[in-house]
Amino acid sequence: MRPVIALFLTFLVAFTTSPVLGGTYNLPSHPDYNNIGLHSELYLTLNVTLVNTGPFPKFVLVNPRYDFVVHRGYPGNESYKSFLVGDTVYYSLGNSWANTLNYYIGFWIHPHEVVVVEFRIIESNPLVIDLKDYVSLCGEYKITEVTLENGNVTGHVNTKDDLGNGPFCDVIYPQLLNTPKFIDPTILFPIRDPSIKILNYWGTVGFRVENVPGQYGNFRTLFAIAPPVLFKDAEHYAFTPNYTMTYREYVNDFLPEYLGIEPMKEGVSLNVTPDLVLYELTDSLITLGKIKATLIQGGEMEPIDFPIWIVWLGADMNIGCRKLEFEISYRFRWEIGD
């Protein structure tokens, strides 16, 4: 195999609207971004109504990764919030007397009291969601490093001296790079005390994807994404922008037509298991492959479906614009008895 050689690219200042400050990007650079430079972040607002049905006051512990505010029927300053100073995350506790016990962070709920707790993962301190690498029959014979400097773009490309590999090796198609985390509301809050009950919850999810080396529009990417998190039995609505298709349509209709292959005779019925079955492109063309998906479940789930967005990032010279990031948002709600 020939060593990695330098590849000088001709994407220059015409694609930039501001000076390129410089930097070298390896592809991939996990956990920051995948092998086609994509980085994704989740931010969340989750409101939960709790009731203490027991005769004793209870101190409920909170995962300190979440900002939270406790809303009661009277004024008070019960909050825990994060903020950034440079690259360092700091947390501010509104009332250490009311919101700590044994050096754990949380809040009190009194006998027969109903409180609403607002949890947040904020945009300035988002949760990074790992995206899968893009899989190609070309393997990693591609651009593997990009350097931006003074408006110029240079990089490195992997090549292979082997006549057994012809000049063509694959066709790009919008691969699905993530799968939702499916959360069962019955164990969303694993409180061991049965006297603390959840009456309902509701909120919004935001999910942003950007191409890190292509931040100035020098590179273009085509891929598909799904919602980062879904809640069992909850209603999900107000998807913005409108999704392109559903997962079943993506697998049963879109991929066979786009790639010119025969669809599966029985189609695909998505059952949630610890190994979520999706399509991947392999040496034998389209085959069923297993992609690890985080599953938080408290029982059996019916076959489900979920939205899919087909995304194009980068410069579009035909219409004279650039799309450097893609963001989706949606709402959810659940109530006891649903």
> Can you give the pLDDT at residue 303?
57
Q: Give the pLDDT confidence of 284-323 residue by residue, as tens digits.
A: 333 333 333 333 444 444 556 899 999 988 866 554 556 7
Rounded CA gap, 303 and 268, in Å? 10
pTM of this structure: 0.79
Write down the pLDDT at residue 20: 36
Work out the average pLDDT over 173-177. Answer: 94
Q: Which of the listed ranges 49-58, 276-285, 292-301 does the model predict with the highest average pLDDT?
A: 49-58
Which of 133 and 88 is assigned the larger pLDDT? Answer: 133
**Torsion angle defined by CA atoms of residues 316, 321, 322 and 323, in that order, rounded to the nearest 10 degrees:** -100
Residue the block writes with tokens 């080396």 = 213
Give per-residue pLDDT as tens, 250-278.
988 999 999 888 776 554 544 444 333 33
Domain boundaries in the chain? 5-43+127-335
107 closest CA partner among 78, 139, 82: 78
